[in-house]
Amino acid sequence: MEQIYYKSTRGNEKLVKSAEAIARGLSDDGGLFVPTSIPKLTVELNELKNMNYKELAFTIMKEFLTDYDEKDLLESIDKAYDEKFDTGIIAPLVKHGQSYFLELYHGPTLAFKDMALSILPYLLKNAVKKLNINKEMVILTATSGDTGKAALEGFANVPGTKIIVFFPQEGVSEIQKRQMLTQTGDNTFVIGIEGNFDDAQNGVKQMLTDENLLKSLEENNKMFSSANSINIGRLIPQVVYYFYAYTQLCNSGEINTGDAINFCVPTGNFGNILAGYYAKRMGLPIKKLICASNENKVLFDFINTGIYDRQRDFVITMSPSMDILISSNLERLLYAMSGEDSKKIKNLMDKLKSDGKYEIDDNMKKELQDFFGGYATEEDTAHAITEVYKNTNYVIDTHTAVSYAVYQKYLETTKDSTKTVIVSTASPYKFTPDVMKSIDAKYIGLNDFELIKELSKITKGDIPVGIKDLETRPVLHKTVCEKDEMQIQIEKILKI
């Protein structure tokens, strides 16, 4: 097997193995780690059809994590995708009407982040062991709602670690907030900030590369890593479910092996859809990756013009996990599109920081042909929930609704009849106020916890274990700070 190495998108030419890339999270130069090459599938698609999720995860991930012992990787996968998921299928593909939905929310926190954050602690634990690191790992994370709880769940009570999560105090749903604030574990810390997700993400990225702070950590036998999708250990596990969706379509007779399909992905930080791009480069027959944005449509504008401009009003929407204006993982795509020109990427990222915008050249614009960009207004999103429920009795969350609405626009624009999978990233139970009022105005005025019970009634299903007693759990984390006080909170927690 060819050894895969990792390097920074911004010019640090040092090559590292995957364990080091995962342990560090972010390169010293502020760049993101990317593989020196995207491995090609070593087995035929026909062979993948007979694999369950764990077997497929091993087949895909071992191609990227070539320095991991296969026995350790198998054990990590086995522990990650176990009974904490409420279905042995892990990521079911369901058909309602003429639409295919890939349900990625059957993990403990009811969001797609569980797909990667269930395994990241095991990958990190193995990395620390392989690298002979005898320091406490401090996992720094910013969240727009779902990453935080999934990371807390994954790292709670993991020996030798602390997990610190920052979230926008007014930018997440009540259920998302309560999930985080009630998190148990002596090594877990949750802090609300007076700002938006971009503020939280910028603060985390700044601390991960702050020389003085890193020196203080070193002196106290600690080191930073990240559970955000800037960590390559988050991205690689996500590649798996694109292959899994494809094999499920094959096994159900909806497509023939080798047929091309589309994926429509609700997108904020660009990590989820980038995993689909990596799957395509590995050899999965993907025709088009449809990038679905909400009213924070910075990615829609970029895909259609080649200009990335974060200088715009930040809109708080009913799909809060996508309320993002700086999509960190886009940097990895830019790196690939530029022919791996790290100098060009550094210049673009410097322009984004100084001017708030950049424009890619014509050669890079041609590389965007793998993608279609669309966006949904708040009205479009609510209508999508209404339409899907009215026609099929299937309830989708607000993020999946953005994806569904954009797919309808894609169909109108292109008339493309290619089978398309709508990536469903969260359970409707996490966003009940907007979901339920879209279904029927009679639900307006009920609180989140009353609405959970009403949703259970109309779906004739049990309330998911992850939120069943959420209303009565004690709030354990009460710290709120200004966005420029994040480092002060870190120093207080770590006593440095």
**Closest by Cα among 82, 100, 107 to 429:** 107
pLDDT digits (tens, 9 = 90+) for 405-455: 999 999 999 999 999 999 999 999 999 999 999 999 999 999 999 999 999
CB of 356 closer than 8 Å to CB of 312: no
CATH number of 93-109+233-468: 3.40.50.1100
Strands of 267-359, DSSP E: 286-293, 307-309, 357-359
d(CA 81, CA 90): 7
The band of 376, judged by pLDDT with boundaries at 50, 70 and 90, is very high
Mean pLDDT of 323-328: 94
CA torsion 116-119-121-122 (nearest 10°) is -150
Confidence at residue 157, expressed as pLDDT on a 0 to 100 scale: 92
CB of 426 closer than 8 Å to CB of 106: no
Confidence at residue 478, expressed as pLDDT on a 0 to 100 scale: 97
pTM of the model: 0.95
pLDDT digits (tens, 9 = 90+) for 67-107: 999 999 999 999 999 999 999 999 999 999 999 999 999 99
Strands 93-96 and 371-375: unpaired
Question: Would the pLDDT of 12 be above 80?
Answer: no
* Mean pLDDT estimate for the chain: 96
Both tokens assigned to 116: 């990667």
Question: 305 phi and psi, to 5 degrees?
Answer: -130, -20
- Domain locations in the chain as residue ranges: 93-109+233-468
Confidence at residue 481, expressed as pLDDT on a 0 to 100 scale: 97
Strands 136-142 and 222-226: parallel
d(CA 161, CA 60): 28
Confidence at residue 385, expressed as pLDDT on a 0 to 100 scale: 98
Amino acid at 103: E
**Closest by Cα among 393, 390, 426, 238 to 318:** 426
d(CA 99, CA 297): 24
Question: Would the pLDDT of 256 be above 80?
Answer: yes
The band of 319, judged by pLDDT with boundaries at 50, 70 and 90, is very high
Both tokens assigned to 35: 């593989």
